[in-house]
Amino acid sequence: MAKVQITMNVNGKAVEGSVEPRLLLIHFLREQLSLTGPHIGCDTSHCGACTVDLDGKSVKACTVFAVQAQGANILTVEGLAAPDGTLHALQEGFREMHGLQCGFCTPGMIIRAYRLLQENPRPSEAEIRLGISGNLCRCTGYQNIVKAIQFAAAKLSGAALQEAAE
């Protein structure tokens, strides 16, 4: 099948590729762009390990073709930290609250939580649990994942309050 030229913006950088239409976005990110943060877990759109942010939506990159992301803005976990290496509040929260054990679900959890906090900066515990209900953790670590997201929400909204006060 003839290849198709695609361009998109990934983590703030313009990228292009030549892909078969059947190439899934997760394979484009991992194999052509070497962004191995998004993981392939179940490969059946259940587990959320492959979650990336696509034009302001959390999507499972195992269930999107790369050609569908033509022209899109994509954020993966690699794009979250500041250029000087300072961790994003969510990454810091997962470290501080022990929000991971094996770490396999973590990139998907963090990038999903990123969008959740964009839409709802101060979610309740119930809203966090519903918000990450498309992401599975098989270490049964949800308790600390919720705490990590609460840590980030508090830090991010505290920073916003401080900025407003200044």
Q: Which residues bind other proteins (CB under 8 A)?
A: 1-2, 4, 20-22, 24, 43-46, 48, 51, 57-60, 63-65, 67-68, 70, 112, 116, 130-134
Q: Are 61 and 130 in contact (CB under 8 A)?
A: no
35 φψ region: left (φ > 0), alpha (ψ -120 to 50), beta (else): beta
Q: Which two tokens stand for residue 96?
A: 């501080």
The residue among 21 and 158 lying less far from other proteins, judged by its C-beta, is: 21
Between CA 136 and CA 152 the distance in angstroms is 20
Closest separation in Å from C-beta 162 to other proteins: 30
Nearer to other proteins, 130 or 159 (CB): 130
User: Which of 65, 84, 70, 81 minimizes the C-alpha distance to 20?
Assistant: 65
Which CB atom, from 27 or from 88, has the smaller least distance to other proteins? 27
Q: How far is the CB of 99 from other proteins (least distance, A)?
A: 18
Cα–Cα–Cα angle for 140, 53, 130, nearest 5°? 40
CB of 163 to other proteins, least distance (A): 27
Shortest distance (Å) from residue 76 CB to other proteins: 14
| Nearest distance, CB of residue 63 and other proteins, angstroms | 5
Which two structure tokens, joined as six digits, stand for 19? 């892909």
CB-nearer residue toward other proteins: 100 or 116 = 116
Which lies closer to other proteins via its Cβ, residue 130 or residue 161? 130
DSSP states along 75-100: E-GGGTS-TT-PPPHHHHHHHHTT--
